Structure 1
Amino acid sequence: MSSPSVVTRALYRSVVLAASIAAWPAWAAEIEAATPPVVTEPVASSAQPPAADAALTTASIAPSANLPADELAAPKAADDAPKPTVASADRIEILDECLDIDACIDRYLWALYERAPKLDKIKETERRVVTVKRKGRMVKVTRSFTRLVDNDFTWKDPKAAERVGLSMKDYVIGGMDRSFKLKLFHTLHAAEAAGLAPGITSAFRDDYRQEIASGLKAATNRSYHGGSLRGGYGHGLAADIVSVNGATRAQRWVATEQLWKWVDANGKSFGVGRPYLDRDPPHVGPVDGQEYAKHRAPAVKVAAAETKKHNRIAARPEHHAAKRAKAVRASALASRRTG
């Protein structure tokens, strides 16, 4: 696990990269529209500038030796001179590093995973023999007592990654579905901008990782985190998120609840929601996925069923009245025939 300072620098770098992804269409068009400079062989020199400086400056681009002297004498007029902007250099630097959008998203999500403590509380059941009074006499019975205990699961993802021969980043982040990673990136980047400091405690899980999970969990091969029945590696459609705001665990819990409420209020606009709400609060997934539809749609179905039931109740008296009228007409017709 990286030191806090390294993780902070990686997160800062990822946030800068994240901002470029959100603004990609605007400045990418500007760069493509610009006319590329004519680059010739550089003049031989004993001291070459660093590669990073050469990419961001024009010092390494020398004029052609075949050009006349009068064309090299004076620069263009002030109106034709390019306007210096600090942002342009940053954009070029980001463009050089973000040629692969998927890699930038993976780095950002990995930074959020690294900074989140892998701690939670699980229910532990203990059976004790106690003495109780029954029918006027004391008897000994066995009772079950449940308590919450701290659970550190930092070791579980590394063990699962080592088992399949993958790096931690490739296992935890690379195992998620690509479209879900994009939705999760936009959601958590917006939460970061809102000052909620999101972190990821769990992302992709294979069957083995799900088997060694503790507490509230799905069946080993049915987890939407990446169980084999859901498609396995590359098809993970769930993640667990918390907030890292706060110096103490109690403060982080308050901040985490604020993050979950923010996701409930704003997550759908990015395509992410909490399918289980308070039954599994950290768990998020795509709102257009099977898991969300299965656990959040019943409320809509119940409302529709209540509406249909109301319509049936309202229509019932009319149906009975129609049946009585039909019976009266049939009786009258029969009496006329017999008369």
Structure 2
Amino acid sequence: MMSSQQFTTRALYRSVVLAGCVMAWPAGAAEIEAITTPAVAAAAATITEQTAAQSPSPEAALTTASINPSAALPADEQAAPRATVEPPQATVASADRIEILDECPVIDVCVDRYLWALYQRAPKLDKIRETERRVVTVKRKGRMVKVTRSFTKLVDNDFTWKDPKAANRVGRTMMEYVIGGMDRGFKLKLFHTLHAAEAAGLAPGITSAFRDDYRQEIASGLKAATNRSYHGGSLRGGYGHGLAADIVSVNGATRAQRWVATEALWKWVDANGKPLGIGRPYLDHDPPHVGPVDGEEYAKHRAPAVKVAAAETRKHKRLAARQEHGAAKRPKAVRASALGSRRTG
């Protein structure tokens, strides 16, 4: 039968040995160091030395275990403060990948949620040209006269309100309108492309996806005719047939940094998007605009065969025009020479 004093002694001894085991953990474990007090560390060191020399007596174990944890150690025994190195923080939060990494019972739902997350995190800002007419005084023919002149300047344009207004107009939620209005095959290609771009550290975002005729009408900057937009114009099929999206990078704390990252994203799409089914039909003419490489829009503006055929057509037209022009001039030259010969004769 174990006495109460022996039971207490052994229990205290086990607690101190357990503290020694904790201190034996690698020094890099910052969480363990944070909860281990200097007093417990000193007690663990004492127990380790006693164990190496000889087995400790019950009295020594009692003395060691009764150290006051709140007692401060001497200055020479205190551990030097350890510099905390924090990993670099990402500029933007990554899109939720739970639906991507897990098995999706319905792939369309997961794709829509992912693209919607990219749409939500992208700022809806751009630069537009504003024309202002002002009356100025100028000097003409020695007199000062007043004239009206036009002045153009670039201003910031926040178009955050446009998609909600268009969605509310047709009675749809924002996600149903912006993402649900795109063609299913195009959404899958866009998902794979932007997911690969995100894995490459480019932090893509979507500023505009499906746009109906009304939304296209209130759009600013470079845009197609109201009903001919590949974003979802009525002549292209309307809702459910959108074949275009505008993408930027959201990586960067300032607008200038995001612009640099956005240009890198566009170049990445040019180099890697075609095998994934996505390309930029207009390149620098409309940089954010992307569409399927097997679609009509991309083929019309980028496909080599179409470009060559169009160039050949233009060449033949120019040659035909020159021949017609030359044929029209020859009779006049003949008549002029005939008249000259008659006069000399």
Query: Which category of TM-score, normalised to the shorter sequence, fits these structures?
Result: 0.5 to 0.7
Report SS of the residue matched to 2:181: coil
1:121 to 92, 116, 127: 127
Q: CA–CA distance in 2 between the matches of 1:112 and 1:252? A: 15
Describe the superposition over 1:170-213 as per-residue Cα deviations: whole angstroms up to 9, x where unpaired: 11000000000011001101100110000000000111111111
Q: 2:299·2:306 contact (CA, 8 Å) conserved in 1?
A: no
Q: State the secondary structure of the residue aligned to 2:148.
A: strand
- Residue of structure 1 equivalent to 2:37: none
How many residues in Structure 1 have an aligned counterpart in Structure 2?
A: 226
- Separation (CA, whole Å) in 1 of partners of 2:308 and 2:129: 32
From 214, 222, 228, give the equivalent of 1:222: 228
* Cα distance in structure 1, aligned partners of 2:312 and 2:173: 51
Alignment partner of 1:256 is 2:262: yes
- So what's the TM-score if we normalise by structure 2? 0.61
Which runs of structure 1 show a deviation greater than 4 angstroms over 4 or more consecutive aligned residues? 302-310
Shift of 1:135: 3.6
Task: Tell me if the contact between 2:300 and 2:306 (Cα under 8 Å) persists in the aligned partners.
Answer: no
1:72-91 equivalence runs, <5 A: none
Partners of 2:287 and 2:181 in 1: how far apart? 22
Asked if structure 1 preserves the Cα contact closer than 8 Å seen for 2:136 and 2:148, the reply is: yes
Q: 167, 184, 189: which is aligned to 1:183?
A: 189
Structure 1 residue 148 and structure 2 residue 154: aligned?
Answer: yes
CA distance in 1, matches of 2:146, 2:120: 50
Q: For residue 281 of structure 2, what is the amino acid of its counterpart?
A: P
Choose which of 165, 170, 173 in structure 1 pairs with 2:176. Answer: 170
CA drift of 1:306 comes to 6.4
Task: Classify 1:123/1:309 alpha carbon distance in 2 versus 1 (closer, same or farther; 3 Å).
Answer: closer
Deviations 1:99-133 (A, max 9, x none): 00111100110000010011111111111122233
Of the candidates 91, 94, 99, which is equivalent to residue 17 of structure 1? 99
- The TM-score normalised by the length of structure 1 is 0.62
The residue number in structure 2 matching 1:112 is 118
Gaps spanning 5+ residues in structure 2: where? Answer: 1-91, 320-345
CA 1:304/1:213 → structure 2, altered by over 3 Å: closer, same or farther? closer
Does 1:269 pair with 2:275? yes
* Same amino acid, percent of matched pairs: 86
Describe the superposition over 1:212-253 as per-residue Cα deviations: whole angstroms up to 9, x where unpaired: 112222111111100111100000000000000000111111
CA distance in 1, matches of 2:246, 2:315: 38
Structure number with greater Rg is 2
Paired residue type of 1:225: H
Unaligned segments of structure 1, at least 5 residues:
1-6, 21-93, 314-339
The residue correspondences of 1:1-339 to structure 2 (distance < 5 A) are: 8=93, 11-12=95-96, 15-18=97-100, 20=101, 94-95=102-103, 98-297=104-303, 301-302=307-308, 305=311
Deviations 1:19-62 (A, max 9, x none): x4xxxxxxxxxxxxxxxxxxxxxxxxxxxxxxxxxxxxxxxxxx
Superposition CA RMSD, Å: 2.4
Q: CA deviation at 1:140?
A: 2.4
| Alpha-carbon separation, structure 1, partners of 2:190 and 2:246 | 11
Match of 1:48 in 2: none
Displacement after TM superposition at 1:305 (Å): 4.2
Q: Measured at CA, do residues 151 and 299 of structure 1 come closer, stay the same or move farther in structure 2, by a change above 3 Å?
A: farther
Q: Residues 192 and 142 of structure 1: is their aligned pair in 2 closer, same or farther, counting only changes over 3 Å?
A: same
